[in-house]
Structure 1
Amino acid sequence: MAAPARAPAQDFATDVMTGYALAGHDPVAYFIDRRPREGRPDHEVRWGESVWVFLNEGNRAAFEADPRTYAPAFAGCDPYALAAGFTTAGKPQLFALNGRRLLLFHSEINRFLFLADPRTYLAAAEDNAERLGCLAP
């Protein structure tokens, strides 16, 4: 029996209208301001298959130096759903910072449940991420 095909990679919550990852929010701002902030098209960079926008040149430079630090973990997949064995895209407005990782959630309840036991859910999400196509480039 053939191994199942790997699920298609997620897209870092890319907005279908603009084409911007995180629906146009600056990934570095989550760590600096502790909230999503709109990026500007004059500060954009392509990483992986996505276009990212930033508030300023400094945030852009920080991302370019180490994109895996600032890009959402699990390529934007909801870690609570991943822990349960399925994928659903996270939303840029529903996030948590766990250590040095930006996590996006599909719903408030998923975020709440994840934060009740992050160590357990994070380990399970990591176990399922590759099989379900939720890895960063």
Structure 2
Amino acid sequence: MKMVQYLIGVLMMTIVATQAVAGEINAADGVAISGYDAVAYFKQEKPVKGLETYSVTYKDALFLFASADNRDAFQANPETYAPQYGGYCAYGTASGYKAPIDPAAFTITGGKLYLNYNKGVQKSWRQDTTGYIRKADENWPVVKTQ
């Protein structure tokens, strides 16, 4: 019995430690949006891989850009270009949890960038974008601390 309690304790500590590592910005190895250019989603309406040459640190994450112009636009107004919910899956946030994203599964609505886990989730997201945004906005203050 003590061994089971010990293992449960270790498991819980591992979960808490893992959750503590997840930050407000979805950044693998410190790089946001899997290295894609946040500004390009707006200007080119597609995901474009960024370059380390054009980078900005924002909320402890490195954002990469395809050009100096895109980097400068982001740096001048990051709230305009940064993905909503820290770049975590918007559908997941609406459901109450952080989830990774596929940079190709995106939607721009109301001048904001929303990313999704994959194209299938994106399809569900687009069926009630307004409702999911409302839920995600309500959930984000708690979800971002997970």
TM-score interval, smaller chain: 0.7 to 0.9
Counterpart for residue 5 of structure 2:
none
Alignment length (residue pairs): 127
Structure 1 counterpart of 2:128, which letter?
D
Q: Secondary structure at the residue paired with 1:127?
A: helix
Q: 2:111 — aligned with what?
A: 100
Match of 1:15 in 2: 28
| Greater RCO (Cα-Cα under 8 Å, separation 6 or more) | 1
Residue 28 in structure 1 maps to residue 39 in structure 2: yes
Q: Which residue of 1 is the match for residue 81 of structure 2?
A: 70
> Gaps spanning 5+ residues in structure 1: where?
none
Kindly provide the amino acid, as one letter, of the partner of residue 94 in structure 2.
A
1:51 matched to 2:90? The reply is: no
How big is the shift at 1:85?
2.0
Asked whether the equivalents of residues 25 and 36 of structure 1 are also in contact (C-alpha less than 8 Å), the reply is yes
| Deviation (angstroms), 1:74 | 0.4
Runs of 4+ that moved beyond 4 A: 5-8
Q: What RMSD, in angstroms, separates the aligned Cα atoms of the two structures? A: 2.0
1:74-89 aligned at under 5 Å gives the runs 74-89=85-100
Unmatched 5+ stretches in structure 2: 1-15
Q: Is the 8 A contact 1:81 1:110 kept in 2?
A: no
Alpha carbons 2:32, 2:63 under 8 Å: kept: yes
Question: 1:10, 1:89 within 8 Å by CA — same for their partners in 2?
Answer: no
3-state SS of paired residue (2:100): coil
Matched to 1:62, the amino acid is A
Looking at structure 2, the residues matched to 10 and 109 of structure 1 have their Cα atoms a distance apart, in angstroms, of: 24
Instruction: Please give the alpha-carbon distance, in whole angstroms, between the structure 2 residues aligned to 1:109 and 1:38.
Output: 22
Paired amino acid for 1:9: G
TM-score by length of 1: 0.83
Identical residues among aligned pairs (%): 28
Query: 1:39 pairs with 38, 41, 50, which one?
Result: 50
Equivalent AA in structure 2 for residue 64 of structure 1: Q
- What amino acid is aligned across from residue 99 of structure 2 in structure 1? T
Taking the aligned partners of 1:40 and 1:81, their CA distance within structure 2 comes to: 28
The 3-state SS of whatever aligns with 2:98 is coil
Specify the SS of the correspondent of 2:99: coil
